[in-house]
Amino acid sequence: MPKPVIDYKKCTNCGNCIDICPMQVFEKENDKVVVKKPEECIGCRACEVQCPKGAIKVVD
Ligand code: SF4
Ligand code: SF4
């Protein structure tokens, strides 16, 4: 099962991944972007490609 992993040393909490994920996997919690619903991930890698900081890796 694919799921995104956020490297918080790189993430700026810009929220871009929240906007681009077609499955609403990401959410903001207390001003921090989190992988809220990893079970919904379809592995499209849009988040990985479009994160401006290269902070997301989609793992299997
Ligand atoms: S797009 Fe990248 S830098 Fe922006 S909130 Fe998501 S993981 Fe963090
Ligand atoms: S790989 Fe696609 S479905 Fe999975 S979290 Fe990233 S954008 Fe969402």
CATH number of the domain encompassing residue 37: 3.30.70.20
Mutate to test the pocket of ligand 1, among 5, 9, 17, 45 (most ligand atoms within 8 A of CB): 17
Does the global pTM surpass 0.85? yes
What is the DSSP secondary structure assignment for residue 47, as one 8-state letter?
A: H
Instruction: Note the pLDDT tens digit of each residue in 17-37.
Output: 999 999 999 999 999 999 999
Q: Which ligand is nearest to the CA of 59?
A: 2
The number of the ligand 1 atom at minimal distance from the alpha carbon of 16 is 1
Instruction: Give the total number of structural domains in the chain.
Output: 1
7 lies in a domain? yes
Domain range for 30 is: 3-54
- Cβ atoms within 10 Å of 31's Cβ, excluding its own: 6
d(CA 24, CA 9): 23
Q: How many angstroms does the Cα of residue 6 sit away from the middle of ligand 2?
A: 12
Instruction: Note the pLDDT tens digit of each residue in 2-22.
Output: 999 999 999 999 999 999 999
